[in-house]
Structure 1
Amino acid sequence: MDTTRQTNDQDLVRTLVAQIFDRVMAVQHLQQPIDLTSSPFKEPALKKRKKGMEGEEKASWSAFVVPCEIHEFKQDLNAVDRGKKKDAVKKVIAAMTVGKDVSSLFPDVVNCMQTEDMELKKLVYLYLINYAKTQPDLAIMAVNTFVKDSQDPNPLIRALAVRTMGCIRVDRITEYLCDPLQKCLKDEDPYVRKTAAVCVAKLHDINPEMVEDRGFLDTLRNLIGDANPMVVANAVAALSEIQDVSGRPVFALDQASLTKLLRALNECTEWGQVFILDAVSAYEPADAAEAETIIERVLPRLQHANAAVVLSAVKVVLKNVARLEDPASAAAVGKKLAPPLVTLLGAEPEIQYVALRCINLVVQRAPEVLSHEVRVFFCKYNDPIYVKVEKLEIMVRLANENNVDQVLLEFKEYATEVDVDFVRRSVRAIGRCAVAIEAAAERCVNVLLDLIKTRVNYVVQEAVVVIKDIFRRYPNRYESVISTLCDCLDGLDEPEARASMVWIVGEYAERIDNADELLEQFLESFPEEPAMVQLQLVTAAVKLFLKKPTERPQALIQLVLTYATQETDNPDLRDRAYIYWRLLSTDPEAAKDVVLAERPVITDAKENLDPAVLDELLGELGALSSVYHRPSGTFVTKTRMAVQRAEDLEKARVAAAASVAAGADAGSVGLSSTLEQQSQHGDGESAHSAGSSAAATPQAAATVPAAAPVPDLLGDLLDLDMGVPAAPAAAPVAAGGVVDLLGDLNLGTTTTATAAPVAPAPASSTTTTSRFLPVLVDATKGKGLVIRGTVTRTSPTSSIIYQMEFENVSAGVTLDGFMIQFNKNIFGLAPSNQAIPVAPIAPGATCAVAVPITQNPSLVAPPTTGGNAAPATLQVAIKSNQLGVLYLADTINAAVVLSGSGKIDSTAFVSGWKAIPEDQEVQQELQNVMITDKEAATRKLESKNVFVMAHKVVGEEQVLYCTGKLEIPGAPVQALLELRFSTSGGSSGVRAYYRSTRQDLAQVVLAVVGAALC
């Protein structure tokens, strides 16, 4: 009895030790944790151990993945036993799958290819696909076997061989792929043909020229008429892929091809149907009859269970229904679109979201399709938030006078939920319905008042913002709710709500008895308020003063303007306060006309896409672009970007720096020699310059406009608190500070200002100096001469000038005989005359001059290549009789060459955008952008001759499509821009996308845009 027990205990110990050893080996190879509480201590495991280690080792290779070393693999791969060889390949594939490097076994695995075992052949092919790139020379060893397998009697092996050869992306193997692929494309078995069709697309991705030269595209087009629908679908998929990547019309459908595709549509698999429907959607029907035929053949696909097939069918129907001439037929087709779209809302939430995003596009184009189905978009309690938000948006679009009551009831119910973001969107949706549907405005206002009575803080604040929009849409109609809003004033703590409330108080100040008291409450925290609230407070205070010109509003506006001009760092706020201040001081009646002017009524708040963009997105219905609501070209590139190593980038940077330095040196020598040749007559030239300076002085002075007789309201704003005396201008209206400026305001009188006498300029100055010009050469480098200047225009339509200023800080040396010369630059800028018309500059004197600039084709620098940005540097040489030649480098602002004729229509913009390859697009995040409002941005951009062509709203982004024309002699450049203004997360930013025929000019153009928006 004891002996038997002892034997059992020994067996148990051996079993446990063996099990733990095997698991340690597994951890060593797989880096998996040991679980000592699992199978080693369970009864089934112990019984299994007693059956012997040999049988278990054969059955458990997959559990332990790599139970032996590489040399053991090699021995098993070269074994005679077929079963042992197959197990070895399985172990190699398992090791490869978990990331082990088994590439050293490449020759041994390749030797296993020549077998009739389909399972073993698939495993070897899988290994080859993975390691052929790292072992291209050894991969050639498998070519003969591939060619042999492509002629095997078994169609599965033939297809497997062609598929594998297409997946091995090695150029030397693709050369051997062509002949087997040609045969397989004409194989008698449809399975081989459909596999070969896809392989053509893979081969085109590796070597496009070979595909065209060997006639594979023609063979694919012939397969469209194949008797097997799967072959047709794969041929269509391959041709579509090749067309998308190449950008050329390699797959142009005609009537005969269309008939073949529609015939094969019913018998394809679901994904084959998607490919065919996408191809049919690109076909332009010849007439209404053909469009009706296409619709009839596609309508049955609307009942398909696959959502992708349904959306592709909807895409085809929407495109062709617009070609129908009979309105009744079009209406009948539209009714058939509603049920399949509604059915998609019963799927999983993820599919619902995609369907809702696509339905949003459909509703923008044809709202009548789902106008009677608004109830299906009501939110369920268990819908994810992303589905609820999309349903909310579609309900707003579908709301009309007939269904607005039930929609408002839904929105009111949503406004009582716990999700704060969804509640805010629901309240805002009520306001959007009020703005869009005038007949329902009063009902919307009543619903908002009911929500305000709930006293839920975030509901009340969102309602205040919404009611402000309703007041803009329907002025002087719903003022009765103002008292209710004023009662909620203390609970407003969000910037947008506070700014809206301030706007309401200022807009209806004459109807609110205690408007001044309400504004004083906001003024108590004026320095801590956000910028949007401060701006509204300044404007509201001015409105209050103009509507109630009494003592208390006068004291209030003095306090507001003092805060805004002396205790803030916000330039926008400070400038607005200065403008109001000068406007009130000079002409209160004009202030009334400006501040209290009747504003345009806001329109429907629905965020519809631009029609051209909507057409493009409807053509991609069911694709990712239709979910993003962005054209695919804005976020997908069909070309592969080359991977650059760090050392390559460093070499390129060093080479570029050396090239720029060499160019600068060569330019300096060239400029020097040119100027020396111009002045080779020595003293005679200087005497001529000195003698003509008197005549040149009036000409230079004439470039500065004379003072206007009317008072200049903004003339000295830039000089306030600068510590630099301004040029003599209009006499001040009053003296004595802030209180004096407004102390004697009289709404019935108009103050006038008289021009002060202008002091005579020094003899050494030709025009008024400006210390705001950037310093180009300091006194040390200039040998006692300070040079300031910039290339500019006085207006968008005026000529280009080089505004320069010379300051002589030398001791006892009068400077004269100035000349100027430019080196080659990207815009071909050149001085009209090399002699600078300035009088001799005495020590301590300063002289400013405007040098006229022209554009010379011979001075246009060649475009940069390799994706490098064109240098926006202007190399200048300045020569004087006393100092010789001085060299300087200035930066060219591209705004000076942007033409006023650069505006194009939207059609030309879209075609031009598509004509530029996507790999030439330049993207950049614009920094320090202050202007994010569409109207303000449009004004600022167009002041720089950057014209806004179209506008759309995508989610929380405002998108502007802009264009500008760079006037370059002999080769003008049309720049196309997409500006995306994002205000998500409380922060603002602008993402710019640039396309043109000159990729190297992207940075100089984007610099203009960035400066305009700052």
Structure 2
Amino acid sequence: MPYLGGKEAVKELRRALSNPNIQADPLRYRNTVLRVIRLPSLVEYVEQPLTAGLRDRAACVRRVAVLGWAKLSNLQPAADLDAAVVNELYSLLRDPDPVVVVNCLRALEEILKEEGGVVINKPITHHLLKRLKDCDVWGQCEVLRVLQRYRPQSDDELFDILSLLDPSLVSPHPPVMAATLSLFLSLCSDLPAVSLAALERVRGPLLSACGSSSREMRFAALCHVQLLLRSVPGLLGEHYKRFFCGYAEPAFIKQRKMQVLVELVNDDNVGMLLDELKGYCTDVSMDTAQTAIAAIGHIGRSYSDRSLEILTGLLTLKQEHITSAVVQTMRDLVWVCPQCSDTVCSALEGCEETLQDDQGRQALLWLLGVYGERLTSAPYTLEVFIDGVRSEASLGVKMELLTAAVRLFLTRPAEMQDMLGRLLHFCIEEERDMCVRDQALLYYRLLHCGIEETRKVLQGRRSDPSLGVLIGRQAEPISQWASSFNTMDALKKAAVETETASRGSPEHVATKLKADLDLPKTLDCCPDDALHSGESDSFSRT
């Protein structure tokens, strides 16, 4: 094999690159050019054929030559390309071959990335828009993405551009439709009425994308539907059946569809939607079942009676993951809708026997602590947890148990005094986890300050109605999410801010710590050595 840097090899290379038989085969020509560019010793010999290739009569040669210059710039970023090459690439934006045009855009983006990419002016913009229909799907998306940099100089020019883009809004290809709508929203950031009209225009193509045979396409479309519903809640209300879950659909699509259904609920379809979600609660997938239960809880913010009827019925199934999800949902529901507390309290009797997971037990303990005065069996349920605290492995359950025990002591002291004393003694004297021990010490010293001071700290708000109901929420401005449309951000975020099941006490998640808590500046409590002298047993004395 000859030395690749030798004269004979260079002559053979030049002969091959100018051979019309090789140029007639796009794949062979492309492979030859891109392989040679990787060799530093031959780069200087490739520049001349690449420059000649930009003016070649064959479109396939021009396509590869453009990509070759982009590759050359990528491999040698420190080298300055000749301005004539850049001008030649700009002139090729008017090439009759649409693939050459798109390749030029990508090449200029790569070559001029330090300067902000390709410069888009009025003539280039209008030329690219007129050639848009000649490009393939990928090419159209690339052109539309680059055109977002251009800002029309007048309203007349803006509406001329929008008229040229209008056919692409209803394109049968979802990527083109999404890229066009993204450009629409970018151009019409100061024209909310035009943006809303564009959202109405893409309703049909977006629904078609939600029914695509590709799972990935369906998921992306559902995420973008959630974005649109933030500003136009009723956009797809009459098409809610299109978001019912199919039996064979994967769990991640089912969960996203249920989130969309929550946003589409209204007085006319609430009964049918709740019945549909109820069927998903017994799905073979635990994640799908728990998502359906959480969706029913979200609808319960506006239709609490119907939702609680379904949730209460699910508790009778005595299935661990269903009971856990229902208890967590009920906890979150009473935090938002305190009027549901009586129904929730009556449904909790006996469910502690089914709960096994940490999140479900924490939710139950929070409910027992906050609404324990309404539950006859609340102290006895807590006693079971307290008796088993030595073998409890969950840190969250222990800390929630401490809070629930102190809260219930404030409302039912006679029944809780002995149990609370035993719990505090164990957590202070024997518990190895410092978080649990510190919380027990905090409550112990707080109780020494007096019952009223403890009541101010632990018996504050029982709910947060300020979170609002689901129905009738104010629509968000399109500008808040327009920059995320047709990007990965729409897939990473849930678009609509649907709350997941909160961990631990809901007040720890829903509220921020206040700078000035209503506490005395000093806590008049006993020193630490008093704890070891047996004073921590005072709550266990009769």
- The yes-or-no answer on 1:569 pairing with 2:367 is no
Paired with 1:185 and 1:605, the residues of 2 have a C-alpha distance of 62
Aligned to 2:337: 474
Shift of 1:387: 1.9
Paired with 1:234 and 1:734, the residues of 2 have a C-alpha distance of 78
Trace 1:455-854 onto structure 2 (pairs within 5 A).
455-529=318-392, 530-550=394-414, 552-598=415-461, 601=464, 603=467, 614-618=481-485, 620-621=486-487, 626-629=490-493, 712=523, 716=527, 736-740=534-538
Residue 317 of structure 2 is aligned with which of 450, 454, 457?
A: 454
Aligned to 2:511: none
| Secondary structure class of the residue paired with 1:493 | coil
- The yes-or-no answer on 1:351 pairing with 2:217 is yes
Question: What amino acid sits opposite 2:311 in the alignment?
Answer: L
- The yes-or-no answer on 1:206 pairing with 2:71 is no
Residue 381 of structure 1 is aligned with which of 232, 247, 251?
A: 247
Aligned to 2:498: none
Paired with 1:386 and 1:459, the residues of 2 have a C-alpha distance of 19
Give aligned-pair identity as a percent: 25
Aligned to 2:115: 248
Name the CA shift for 1:402/1:201 in 2 (closer, same or farther; >3 Å).
farther
**Does the 8 A contact of 2:277 with 2:292 survive in 1?**
yes
Paired with 1:394 and 1:142, the residues of 2 have a C-alpha distance of 63
Greater RCO, CA 8 A, separation 6+: 2
Paired with 1:353 and 1:403, the residues of 2 have a C-alpha distance of 24
Question: What amino acid sits opposite 1:546 in the alignment?
Answer: L
Trace 1:122-521 onto structure 2 (pairs within 5 A).
137=5, 141-153=8-20, 156-157=23-24, 161=29, 164-168=32-36, 169-210=38-79, 212-242=81-111, 246-286=113-153, 288-324=155-191, 327=193, 329-344=194-209, 345-364=211-230, 367-401=233-267, 403-434=269-300, 438-521=301-384
Name the CA shift for 1:368/1:480 in 2 (closer, same or farther; >3 Å).
closer
Q: What's the CA shift string for 1:121-179, capped at 9, x where partnerless? A: xxxxxxxxxxxxxx7546x7443233334444568349654662233311222211222
**Does the 8 A contact of 1:471 with 1:477 survive in 2?**
yes
Trace 1:991-1002 onto structure 2 (pairs within 5 A).
none
Shift of 1:628: 4.2
**Does the 8 A contact of 2:425 with 2:537 survive in 1?**
no
Paired with 1:394 and 1:198, the residues of 2 have a C-alpha distance of 43
Shift of 1:262: 0.3
Shift of 1:596: 0.7
| Secondary structure class of the residue paired with 1:196 | helix
**Does the 8 A contact of 1:229 with 1:268 survive in 2?**
yes
Paired with 2:257 and 2:154, the residues of 1 have a C-alpha distance of 37
Name the CA shift for 1:460/1:571 in 2 (closer, same or farther; >3 Å).
same
Paired with 1:555 and 1:170, the residues of 2 have a C-alpha distance of 82
Shift of 1:241: 4.0
Paired with 1:272 and 1:460, the residues of 2 have a C-alpha distance of 51
**Does the 8 A contact of 1:223 with 1:231 survive in 2?**
yes
Question: What amino acid sits opposite 1:406 in the alignment?
Answer: M
Question: What amino acid sits opposite 1:164 in the alignment?
Answer: T
Give the structure with the higher percent strand: 1
Question: What amino acid sits opposite 2:377 in the alignment?
Answer: N
Q: What's the CA shift string for 1:525-552, capped at 9, x where partnerless? A: 11223222211111111111111232x3
**Does the 8 A contact of 2:186 with 2:482 survive in 1?**
no
For this pair of structures, how many residues does the alignment match? Answer: 508
**Does the 8 A contact of 2:324 with 2:360 survive in 1?**
yes
Question: What amino acid sits opposite 2:538 in the alignment?
Answer: D
Name the CA shift for 1:733/1:382 in 2 (closer, same or farther; >3 Å).
closer
Name the CA shift for 1:455/1:289 in 2 (closer, same or farther; >3 Å).
farther
Question: What amino acid sits opposite 2:45 in the alignment?
Answer: Y
Shift of 1:449: 1.5
Name the CA shift for 1:358/1:176 in 2 (closer, same or farther; >3 Å).
farther
Q: What's the CA shift string for 1:885-910, capped at 9, x where partnerless? A: xxxxxxxxxxxxxxxxxxxxxxxxxx
- Normalization by structure 2: what TM-score? 0.83
**Does the 8 A contact of 1:194 with 1:234 survive in 2?**
yes
CA RMSD of aligned residues (A): 3.4
Name the CA shift for 1:307/1:439 in 2 (closer, same or farther; >3 Å).
closer
Paired with 2:29 and 2:356, the residues of 1 have a C-alpha distance of 70
| Secondary structure class of the residue paired with 1:569 | coil
Name the CA shift for 1:524/1:391 in 2 (closer, same or farther; >3 Å).
same
Paired with 2:277 and 2:453, the residues of 1 have a C-alpha distance of 45
Question: What amino acid sits opposite 1:450 in the alignment?
Answer: G
Q: What's the CA shift string for 1:343-371, capped at 9, x where partnerless? A: 11232223323333343444446545434
Shift of 1:423: 0.7
Paired with 1:366 and 1:289, the residues of 2 have a C-alpha distance of 27
Question: What amino acid sits opposite 1:420 in the alignment?
Answer: M
- Normalization by structure 1: what TM-score? 0.46
Q: What's the CA shift string for 1:304-338, capped at 9, x where partnerless? A: 4444333323322333343435x2x4433221111
Paired with 1:286 and 1:441, the residues of 2 have a C-alpha distance of 53
Shift of 1:259: 0.5
Aligned to 1:850: none
Q: What's the CA shift string for 1:582-605, capped at 9, x where partnerless? A: 110122211111111125616269
Name the CA shift for 1:144/1:600 in 2 (closer, same or farther; >3 Å).
farther
Q: What's the CA shift string for 1:757-816, capped at 9, x where partnerless? A: xxxxxxxxxxxxxxxxxxxxxxxxxxxxxxxxxxxxxxxxxxxxxxxxxxxxxxxxxxxx
Name the CA shift for 1:521/1:289 in 2 (closer, same or farther; >3 Å).
farther
| Secondary structure class of the residue paired with 1:738 | helix
**Does the 8 A contact of 1:392 with 1:426 survive in 2?**
yes
Paired with 2:449 and 2:139, the residues of 1 have a C-alpha distance of 75
Question: What amino acid sits opposite 2:275 in the alignment?
Answer: L
Name the CA shift for 1:290/1:413 in 2 (closer, same or farther; >3 Å).
farther
**Does the 8 A contact of 1:420 with 1:458 survive in 2?**
yes
| Secondary structure class of the residue paired with 2:413 | coil
Larger radius of gyration: 1
Question: What amino acid sits opposite 2:34 in the alignment?
Answer: G
Name the CA shift for 1:544/1:600 in 2 (closer, same or farther; >3 Å).
closer
Q: What's the CA shift string for 1:535-583, capped at 9, x where partnerless? A: 1111111111111232x32112111211221232121111111011011
Give the structure with the higher percent helix: 2
| Secondary structure class of the residue paired with 1:252 | coil
Shift of 1:219: 2.2
**Does the 8 A contact of 2:50 with 2:65 survive in 1?**
yes
